[in-house]
Structure 1
């Protein structure tokens, strides 16, 4: 088996839209690298301080809902001569009340957020696995590994969620830890992809 057979199929073996996309991504490889490094640093910080990450996620979510609710109400009054005026007012009130409830009871909200996060991890992990197996872009193995780990993290959260009545404090750190691991793996995936794009020959990336 030659070394050429081990290289990813770029160039003439790919349709023109994919070739042009790889060419554009190669020119902007440093953007992917910066995003990956920032995600890796965020993941390390979240793993080092999981309690603060967990509480911060809940408080941020509550504050975001409050701001969104107030903005929705204000925008509804700015354009009040329309059929959806009362619907927008109702949506804004629901957002605002939900945000105040979340910030007022962060522990209970954190437990519910843990369950939602578990579902998100399982769905996101499954999506990454499918896209990696179907598209098989450069360094797709790391994307597949990322999907497998993400799905497993979701299942771990589901399992630990059943122990919350006995260990209510456990929810305070597990969400921050798992979010940190997700950020770390996702960031490393972007770093590896950026380095792979940087090494991609320009003649192959731009060929038609």
Structure 2
């Protein structure tokens, strides 16, 4: 019997889906490159989006708390929602100050994370000793550099990190989309080729 082959329509849909994934990756790469050239604008944009997320999330949480007002955690949910709303309003009204605070927090995270990795690599000395040691040293250096230039570093640190994240995520999506289209095309061509029908198929020659 002939081997069943998937419809060409399904392969076309898969290739179209991977193509849209690659197109999204291109958009993210472009946005990341623009953000790297205009880090100050990217930082302010990030803080405004962050403030709106806090504000909308707080309003949604407050609505859910009101709907579940008979639960035991009603007041806790109201307090958390109110804090999110207040934080969102503060971030939207003073995005520069919020960027400074967030940059300081990020620098402290780099310092503590680098210190833990550095000490852990020296104590454990596992198979990933060199990589962990290098990560710790880089974390410490990055935290120190951000703190030394603070608060002026708050104008570009958050925007640079966001832009780099968009850039690498976009490159990953492009690689996934391109590779997926190639694999789908190779499999589709392989399954629809005459050799893939197997020896059980008889060809009728015209008389």
The TM-score range, normalised by the shorter chain, is 0.5 to 0.7
Matched, 1:160 2:145: yes
Check 1:40–1:205 CA distance in 2 against 1; reply closer, same or farther (3 A cut): farther
Q: Secondary structure at the match of 2:156?
A: helix
The answer on whether the counterparts of 1:117 and 1:154 sit within 8 Å (CA) in structure 2 is no
**Following TM superposition, by how much is the alpha carbon of 1:43 offset from its aligned partner in structure 2, in angstroms?**
0.8
The answer on whether the counterparts of 1:115 and 1:158 sit within 8 Å (CA) in structure 2 is no
Q: Secondary structure at the match of 1:158?
A: helix
Matched, 1:42 2:27: no
For residue 75 of structure 2, the aligned residue among 69, 86, 99 is 86
Q: Secondary structure at the match of 1:162?
A: helix
- State the distance in 1 between where 2:17 and 2:137 align: 32
**Following TM superposition, by how much is the alpha carbon of 1:106 offset from its aligned partner in structure 2, in angstroms?**
2.4
Measured against aligned partners, the alpha-carbon deviations of 1:110-160 in whole angstroms (never above 9, x if no partner) come to 13323555759x8xxxxxxxxxxxxxxxxxxxxxxxxxxxx9997775243
Q: TM-score, normalised by structure 1?
A: 0.60
Corresponding residue for residue 173 of structure 2: 190
Q: How does 1:167-178 map to 2 (within 5 A)?
A: 168-178=151-161
Computing the radius of gyration from Cα coordinates, the structure with the larger value is 2
The answer on whether the counterparts of 2:103 and 2:153 sit within 8 Å (CA) in structure 1 is no
RMSD: 3.6
Check 1:103–1:157 CA distance in 2 against 1; reply closer, same or farther (3 A cut): farther
Where structure 1 has 5 or more consecutive residues not aligned to the other structure, the ranges are 1-23, 123-150
Corresponding residue for residue 19 of structure 1: none
Corresponding residue for residue 32 of structure 1: 21
The answer on whether the counterparts of 2:47 and 2:91 sit within 8 Å (CA) in structure 1 is yes
Matched, 1:64 2:53: yes
